[in-house]
Amino acid sequence: MRLLVVDDDVELCSLLGEFLEREGYAVHCENDGPSGVDQALNGGYDMVVLDVMLPKLDGFEILKRVRSRSSVPVLMLTARGEDVDRIVGLELGADDYLPKPFNPRELSARIRAILRRSDAQSTSGRVEINGVVLDPASRKVTRDDTPIDLTTLEFSILEMLMRAAGRVVSRDALMEGLYNRKATPFDRSIDMHVSHLRRKLEGSQTLIKTIRGVGYQFCRTPEEA
């Protein structure tokens, strides 16, 4: 797997490169925004690890430009305690975030979880429910034959919900399946991604119901909604 690390801390990039290469990844580092955008869009990477604070272009602007043309998984590195950074990153389509400073093994675990999702999406079968068609092989989603552009994480959430259609999927189950960790009372990342998914997928008809205090349910029929 090929990883792109975009961070202006040259020493950190060197240390991460050495660590992740020992974990079995091929790692390339960039230290400024414009180079990061170019590599993320044209380098053929399996995943991008992207710092928020960068010269010339910050991580948010890079993420916006990447998401306009690519669904490559992106993990954001944010300043510890800066909740607004994590919220903005998720709003713009980041798959996950990790506050600095961090344990490299935690970073490796997050990367494995994200790449595992991407790999699973390419091997599972096609699902068609309530006018929505999800095809993991082509990584395409349509609603009433209209293409829907989803991020990697939105695709994963939709697949989990559709494969359990009619049943409630808890927030804890989504967190375990997507991030390989348990939900915390203050972690609203799943809720934000589901909100984005609804905006893209739903019109006047409800497809994803919130079951308060539990989780979410994908509706098999209009009547079920």
User: Mean pLDDT, consecutive 10-residue segments, the chain of 225 residues?
Assistant: 93 94 94 94 92 91 91 87 79 88 92 80 74 87 92 88 89 82 71 90 89 90 81
Beta bridge partners of 218: 208
- Which pLDDT belongs to residue 81? 62
Specify whether domain 2-119 bears CATH 3.40.50.2300. yes
Determine the topology of domain 124-218 in CATH: Arc Repressor Mutant, subunit A (1.10.10)
- Which pLDDT belongs to residue 75? 95
Amino acid at 103: N
pTM score, whole prediction? 0.64
The pair phi, psi for residue 202, each rounded to 5°, is -95, 145
CB atoms within 10 A of CB 57: 17
Burial of 144 (0-12, 13-18, 19+ CB in 10 A): exposed
Could you tell me the CA-to-CA distances from 111 to 47, 49, 106 in Å, in that order? 8, 9, 9
Q: Per-domain residue ranges for the chain?
A: 2-119, 124-218
> Which residues, other chains included, contact 191 with Cβ-Cβ below 8 Å and sequence gap of 6+?
171
CA distance 94 to 151: 8
- Which pLDDT belongs to residue 189? 80
- Which pLDDT belongs to residue 19? 95
The 3-state DSSP class for residue 206 equals coil
- Which pLDDT belongs to residue 184? 67
